[in-house]
Structure 1
Amino acid sequence: MKTFRLIVLGTGLLLLWQLVVIITDAPHYILPGPLPVFHAIIDHWSTLMGHLQTTLTEIIFGILLGTALGISAALTMTFSPLLKRWLLPVLVISQAIPVFALAPILVLWFGYGMASKIAMAVLIIFFPVTSSFYYGMQRTEPQLLELARIMNGSPMRIMRYIVIPAAMPAFASGLRLAAAVAPIGAVIGEWVGSSSGLGFYMIHANARMQIDVMFAALTILSVVSLLLYFLVDFAMERLIYWEPYQGC
């Protein structure tokens, strides 16, 4: 059923795209139709896949590092209220500064390679993972915690068998959001300074007025982002088997 919905939704979006092109009579250099973009994908397939490999690597490493840091920060704030007072302002500040403003600084610090793009993705992913996991642990049923203490459960065993499992649905929601926004960090970093990646290729195509190629790169990036989101959604559905499914 989910696959059927995705097919219907994708077909509907393509038809809507073509309808907008017909109604507005937009020039090709402003808004190409789906068919020219499809031809551009076929004609530049090998080049697009090469740039996709770079962007996908940045996204995956960003998700892995951002998730690991987010989990570590959430656990640290849970175990240490003192450190929580210091870490929470850092979390807020990390989201208060626009990522566009940070991108040139990260490129200056980490260079034009993958490191600066991964750092951008980590910055975007860190907050939703940390906040969802931390507040999920804070919402553990008090009755379960009290029962565990009555049965002489150690803090580590309570954390492992009660608190973390109770926080997993909230953590899954944060991770799904992280998977959806991770490409933003990588692409913004590629726009600011890079020599490869779909973001770089889009800027390159735009400068040469190859608008269909630019839309081709954007289309592939959108499809890959959706696939990545649903892959994370599928993994969370299988991992949190004790909770009713809350995903797509």
Structure 2
Amino acid sequence: MNALRSLGIAAGLCGFWQLLVWLTGAPHFILPGPLRVLEALYNNAGLLLQHAGVTLAEILLGLLLGVLLGLGSALTLIWFRRLRAWMLPVLVISQSIPVFALAPVLMLWLGYGMASKVAMATLIIYFPVTAACYDGLRHAPAAWLELARTLGADRRTQLLQIRLPAALPALGSGLRVAASVAPIGAVVGEWVGSSTGLGYLMLHANARMQVDLMFAALLVLSLMAVSLYFLIDRLLRRLMPWQSETLFDDAPEAEQ
């Protein structure tokens, strides 16, 4: 049922897209129709696959580093109370700086290779994961913690056996957000300076007025992001079967 619903949504969006092209009469170099984009996707499949592999590697590495750093920071905030008063303001202030403005600086420091793109993706992912995990850790049920202290559990035991399991749903929400925003960092980094990747391909296709190829690259990037989101969502639901169903499930099943 979910697959049929997804196909129906995709068909509806393509129909609306084609209708918009017909009504506006936009030339193909301004707004190509879905059939022209699919044709460009077919004709340039090898090129798109080559650049998509680079972007996917940047996304996955950024996701891995961002999650590890975010989880480590959240655990540090919970475990070291004296550092909390110093780290929390730094984390909040860091979010007032547009991450995209750091892209040229990262290019200068890390070069035009994959490292700067991975760093961009990591920076974008880091704060949502840290905030979600820290929120879940500090909102562990007080009754459970009090019972653990009554039974003589030390702080390490409370963290590993109570706080971390209780924080898993919040961490799962942070991971879903991270999967959604990870492609942004990689593509922005490729726009600033790169010789490979879907962002680089989109930029050069736009400069050559190959708008159909640019839309094809954007379609591949969207499919990658959606697939990564649903893959992480499915994995989290298997790891946390007690968590409520997601919005993408059928309502009758969610109520059971």
Give the structure-2-normalised TM-score: 0.94
- Deviation at residue 84 of structure 1 after TM alignment: 1.4
Counterpart residue number, 1:58: 58
Distance 2:246 2:33 in 1: 36
Residue identity opposite 2:159 in structure 1: M
State the alpha-carbon separation in 2 of the partners of residues 62 and 216 from structure 1.
24
- Give the whole-Å Cα distance in 2 for the aligned partners of 1:77 and 1:228: 29
Residues 78-117 of structure 1 correspond to what in structure 2 (within 5 A)?
Answer: 78-117=78-117
Give the match for residue 175 of structure 1.
175
Equivalent residue number for residue 126 of structure 1: 126
Q: C-alpha separation between the residues in 1 aligned to 2:167 and 2:198?
A: 35
Structure 1 residue 45: Cα displacement: 0.4
> Which residue of structure 2 lines up, in the alignment, with residue 22 of structure 1?
22
CA–CA distance in structure 1, aligned partners of residues 48 and 243 of structure 2:
40
Deviation at 1:87, TM superposition (A): 1.6
Deviation readout 1:130-186 (Å, 9 max, x if unpaired):
000000111111001101111111211111111111111011001000000000000
Q: Which runs of 4+ in 1 moved over 4 A?
A: none
Cα gap change, 1:200/1:134 in structure 2, threshold over 3 Å: closer, same or farther?
A: same
Contact 1:94–1:123 under 8 Å retained in 2: no
Q: Measure the CA separation in 1 of the matches of 2:80 and 2:96.
A: 24
Number of residue-to-residue matches in the alignment: 248
Corresponding residue for residue 158 of structure 1: 158
Q: Give the whole-Å Cα distance in 1 for the aligned partners of 2:163 and 2:183.
A: 31
1:59 Cα deviation from its structure 2 partner: 0.1
1:210 maps to 2:210: yes
Match of 2:140 in 1: 140
**Alignment partner, residue 197 of structure 1:** 197
Cα distance, 1:12 vs. partner? 1.2
Per the alignment, residue 224 of structure 2 pairs with: 224
Q: CA deviation at 1:245?
A: 2.6
Deviations 1:33-91 (A, max 9, x none): 00000000000000000000000000000000000000000000001122112221222
Give distance in 2, aligned partners of 1:225 and 1:135: 26
Kept in 2, the 8 Å contact 1:67–1:129? The answer is yes
Query: TM-score scaled to structure 1, two decimals?
Result: 0.97
RMSD: 1.0
The amino acid of 1:208's aligned partner reads R
Q: 2: CA distance between counterparts of 1:24 and 1:82?
A: 61
Q: Which residue of 1 aligns with 2:254?
A: none
Once the two structures are superposed, the pairs formed by residues 12-51 of structure 1 within 5 Å of their partners are: 12-51=12-51
Any idea what SS the aligned residue of 1:64 has?
helix
Taking the aligned partners of 1:175 and 1:247, their CA distance within structure 2 comes to: 16
Q: How far apart are 1:96 and its partner, in Å?
A: 1.3
My pick for the range that moved more, 150-159 or 139-148, is 150-159
Q: Write the distance in 2 (CA, Å) between the matches of 1:21 and 1:93.
A: 44
Q: Secondary structure of the residue that 1:127 maps to in structure 2?
A: helix
Letter in 2 for 1:93: I
